[in-house]
Amino acid sequence: MSFFKKLKDKISKKTEEVTTKFKEGLSKTSSSFTEKIETLVLRRKKIDEDFYEELEEILIGADVGVNVVMDLIDELRTEVRKKKIEDAADLQPVLSEKLVELLSGKEDNSLNIQETGLTVILFVGVNGVGKTTTIGKMAHRFNSEGKKVLLAAGDTFRAGAIEQLEVWGNRVGVDVIKQQAGSDPAAVIFDALQAAKKREADILLCDTAGRLQNKTNLMEELNKIYRVIKREVPNAPHEVLLVLDATTGQNALSQAKLFGEKTGVTGLVLTKLDGTAKGGIVVAIRNGMDIPVKFVGLGEKMDDLQEFDSEQFVHALFAGLIKDEEEREEADEVSEE
């Protein structure tokens, strides 16, 4: 059984709604990526040096990252020798299998939600990456599960940040704990923690600044918030999620490294994947750091924030090729009859 067939069988056991969201959200990356690989396979039926070079260019063009691509090509060369693969078309399922391996990792990518008491989730990241929107969508997700959710407006520096979070709070039906613009972010988080404990909330989602207007170092400010949370709720924050904009490509990887080193990030949220043809950045980030991708933003709708699933991701990426393989198999069956 080919890897594409195995992958499709695994996906068929998952909810159709989620599969559709991944397919639609990654359609730009998939059509660009699949089209280029199909053209390469048709043009160069044999696997030679030129084939590998062009495949390298396609993968780098999808923002998979140079180092990851070099390792991937080396592994493909080994597989080709080992399995004596000659036809370029036979390499496609092997490539998809390697991508699933690269994306899976050993870490658990589920959220660390406390069974009892308050779960505190801190969101970090530069301005403009979709941090507030991610918080709103996650509040909707928890609210739909019947959890009591509170939001903390800890970004007191960006103009309109508090109001934006309030708009999301109203849409989702969740209270927002806030102070005036320009207030001390750590004081806002402190108030939110007190309110969450008093109201017996299950989840507290904390927004933070992505850039400060005064001379205070952003990382120092985040560390201050971190200390306040730790003092008020032992073992918290339970998650520190770094929000990255997938459309910024390799720039997102640089941000991940900066924040990852300084703020104790436990997971990544990649937003706006539906707006880029370079969804390979997920592979680059996943392999550039030992931090799991926990959620991906696949569209504008409230429920388009989905838990990251490596099999769904690769299935959506190779959707065109999987369909082509199915059609070929059907045609072969008909001709055998």
Encode pLDDT of 25-36 as tens digits.
888 877 777 788
Percent of the chain predicted with pLDDT > 70: 87
Are residues 154 and 197 both part of a single domain? yes
Beta strands in the chain (DSSP E): 119-124, 149-152, 175-177, 203-206, 239-245, 267-271, 293-297, 305-307
Report whether 15 belongs to an annotated binding site. Answer: no
Residue 17 has pLDDT above 50, yes or no: yes
Residue 94 has pLDDT above 80, yes or no: yes
Beta strands in 1-138 (DSSP E): 119-124
Residue-wise pLDDT tens digits, 183-211? 999 999 999 999 999 999 999 999 998 87
pLDDT at residue number 275:
82
Are residues 232 and 137 both part of a single domain? yes
Are residues 77 and 103 both part of a single domain? yes
Residue 324: band (very low, low, confident or very high) from pLDDT cuts 50, 70, 90: low
Report whether 10 belongs to an annotated binding site. Answer: no
What is the C-alpha separation between 272 and 245, in angstroms, rounded? 6
Q: What is the CATH number of the domain that holds 52?
A: 1.20.120.140
pTM (two decimals): 0.84
What is the C-alpha separation between 280 and 58, in angstroms, rounded? 10
Report whether 131 belongs to an annotated binding site. Answer: yes
Looking at residues 123-143, what average pLDDT do you find?
Answer: 93
| HEC secondary structure over 135-184 | HHHHHHHHHHCCCCEEEECCCCCCCCHHHHHHHHHHHHCCEEECCCCCCC
- Number of domains comprising the chain: 2
What is the C-alpha separation between 95 and 306, in angstroms, rounded? 24
Are residues 248 and 143 both part of a single domain? yes
3-state DSSP call for residue 234?
coil
Beta-ladder partners of 204: 120, 150
3-state DSSP call for residue 124?
strand
Q: Which residue has the higher pLDDT, 264 or 148?
A: 148
Are residues 124 and 100 both part of a single domain? no
Are residues 133 and 198 both part of a single domain? yes
Are residues 238 and 161 both part of a single domain? yes
What is the C-alpha separation between 223 and 186, in angstroms, rounded? 9
CB 269 within 8 A of CB 134: yes
Are residues 50 and 148 both part of a single domain? no
Quick check: is 286 in a domain? no
Residue 19 has pLDDT above 60, yes or no: yes
Domain end call among 271, 298, 326: 271
What is the C-alpha separation between 153 and 192, in angstroms, rounded? 9
Q: Which residue has the higher pLDDT, 120 or 22?
A: 120
Residues whose CB is less than 8 angstroms from the CB of residue 230 and which lie 6 or more positions away in sequence, other chains included: 236, 237
Report whether 98 belongs to an annotated binding site. Answer: no
Residue 230: band (very low, low, confident or very high) from pLDDT cuts 50, 70, 90: very high
Are residues 248 and 129 both part of a single domain? yes
Residue 276: band (very low, low, confident or very high) from pLDDT cuts 50, 70, 90: confident
Residue 13: band (very low, low, confident or very high) from pLDDT cuts 50, 70, 90: low
Dihedral of alpha carbons 74, 75, 76, 78, sign: positive
Report whether 207 belongs to an annotated binding site. Answer: yes
Report whether 273 belongs to an annotated binding site. Answer: yes
Residue 221 has pLDDT above 50, yes or no: yes
Quick check: is 66 in a domain? yes
Q: What is the CATH number of the domain that holds 241?
A: 3.40.50.300
Residue 151: band (very low, low, confident or very high) from pLDDT cuts 50, 70, 90: very high
Report whether 6 belongs to an annotated binding site. Answer: no
Beta-ladder partners of 245: 271
pLDDT at residue number 174:
96
Report whether 129 belongs to an annotated binding site. Answer: yes
Quick check: is 311 in a domain? no
Quick check: is 214 in a domain? yes
Least confident of 94-108, 149-163, 233-247: 94-108
Residue 105 has pLDDT above 70, yes or no: no
What does the mean pLDDT of the chain come to? 84
Quick check: is 308 in a domain? no
Quick check: is 59 in a domain? yes
**Range list of H helices, 44-65:** 49-61
Least confident of 97-101, 105-109, 167-171: 105-109
Residue 215: band (very low, low, confident or very high) from pLDDT cuts 50, 70, 90: very low
Report whether 230 belongs to an annotated binding site. Answer: no
Report whether 170 belongs to an annotated binding site. Answer: no
Report whether 197 belongs to an annotated binding site. Answer: no
Residue 292: band (very low, low, confident or very high) from pLDDT cuts 50, 70, 90: confident
**Any idea which residue has 């609210």 for tokens?**
143
What is the C-alpha separation between 224 and 219, in angstroms, rounded? 9
Burial of 295 per CB tally in 10 Å (0-12, 13-18, 19+) = buried
Are residues 44 and 96 both part of a single domain? yes
Are residues 186 and 159 both part of a single domain? yes
Looking at residues 52-65, what average pLDDT do you find?
Answer: 86
Quick check: is 45 in a domain? yes
Domain end call among 271, 293, 327: 271
Are residues 180 and 156 both part of a single domain? yes
Question: Domain range holding 211?
Answer: 119-271
Report whether 192 belongs to an annotated binding site. Answer: no
Residue 117 has pLDDT above 50, yes or no: yes
Residues whose CB is less than 8 angstroms from the CB of residue 67 and which lie 6 or more positions away in sequence, other chains included: 287, 288
Report whether 130 belongs to an annotated binding site. Answer: yes
Quick check: is 4 in a domain? no
Residue 12: band (very low, low, confident or very high) from pLDDT cuts 50, 70, 90: low
